[in-house]
Structure 1
C-alpha cells in the first residue's frame, strides 16, 4: 500500500502518524477484503484550511475533523466489481487501486481527543478508519448506515488494540 502524506500545518501530532495511518488503512482494507494493493493520499492540516475545503466542496462553512474524497463510485460498499473493467481506477505505473484522498484537521484531533477523553493516537486512528470506510463506499446518512459504519470502525480499532 502506498500512502502519500502531506503535512501542511505547524502543529505536530507527536505520534508516529505515518506508521499508524498505514497500519489502520491496511487493516480496514483487509477487513473489507480488498483484493488489490491500494493508494491513498492523506493531507494533515489545520482548522482554517479544512474549513475552506469543507465550504468549497460541501457548502458547509465550518471546520470539520475529517474529509474524504473517494475516487471510486462504489455501487455498494466494498463491492470491487466496479473497478474490474475500468483501468482508470488504477495507477498505471504501480497497478495500485486509487482509493482517494483523506484530509484530517490536526487541531480537531487534539480537541476531540480531549473532548472524548482518549489519546491523540486513538482519535487519529479513528479518523483514519472512518475515512477509509468512506473511500470504500460506506456512509452514515441513515441510522442503518451509521450503525454499520460505527461497528466496522470499532472492530478495526479493537482488532488493532487501539482503545479509548
Structure 2
C-alpha cells in the first residue's frame, strides 16, 4: 500500500501519523479482503482549511473532522470484484488501486479526543478507519448503514489494540 501524507499544519502528536494511518489503512483493506495494492492520499490540516474544502466541495459552511473523497464508486460496499473491468481505478504507473483522498482536521482530532475522553491516537485512528470505509463504499446515511460501519470501525480499532482510554 502507498500512503501519500501531506501535513499542512503542525501535528504535534506523540505518535507517528504516517505509521498509524498506514497500519489502520492496511488493517481495513486486509479485513475487507481487498485483492489489490492500493494508494491513498491523506492530508492533515486545520479547521480553517477543512472548512473551506467543506464549503467548496459539499456546500457546507463549517469545519468538520474528516472528509473523504473516493476515486471509485463501489456498487456494493467492500466488494472489489467489479474493479477488474474498471481500469480507470488503477494508477497506470504503479498498477495500484486509487482509493481516493482523506482530509483530517488536526484541530478536530484534539477537540474530539477531549470531548469523547480518549487519546489523540484513538481519535486519529478512528477518523482514518472511518474514512477508509467511505473510500471503499460504506456510508452511514441510514441507521442500518451506520450500524454496519460503526461495527467495522470498532473491530478494526480493537484488532489494532487502539481502544478508548
Mapped contact 1:67–1:131 kept (Cα < 8 A): yes
With the length of structure 2 as denominator, give the TM-score of the two structures: 0.97
C-alpha displacement at 1:14, in angstroms?
Answer: 3.2
Q: Distance in 1 between matches of 2:45 and 2:154?
A: 25
Take 2:76 and 2:11, find their aligned partners in 1: how far apart are those partners?
37
Separation of aligned partners in 1, 2:22 and 2:130: 14
- The alpha-carbon deviation at position 11 of structure 1 amounts to 4.5
Equivalence for 2:72: 72
1:37 positional shift: 0.5
TM-score, normalising length: structure 1: 0.98
Counterpart-to-counterpart distance in 1, 2:72 and 2:16: 29
**1:46-91 C-alpha deviation (Å, 9 max, x unpaired):** 0000000001111111100000000111001012122111211111
List, as ranges, runs of 4+ consecutive aligned residues in structure 1 with deviation greater than 6 Å.
none
CA contact (8 A) 1:13 1:106 kept: no
Tell me the equivalent position of 1:157. 157
**Aligned partner of residue 84 in structure 1, secondary structure:** helix
Q: Structure 2: 5+ residue runs without aligned partners?
A: none
Over aligned residues, Cα RMSD in angstroms? 0.8
Q: How many residues align?
A: 164
Is residue 110–residue 120 contact of structure 1 (8 Å, CA) maintained in 2?
yes
Q: Deviations over 1:86-143 (max 9, x none)?
A: 2111111111100000000000000000000000000000000000000000000000
Counterpart CA distance in 2 for 1:102 and 1:86 is 21
Q: How does 1:8-157 map to 2 (within 5 A)?
A: 8-157=8-157
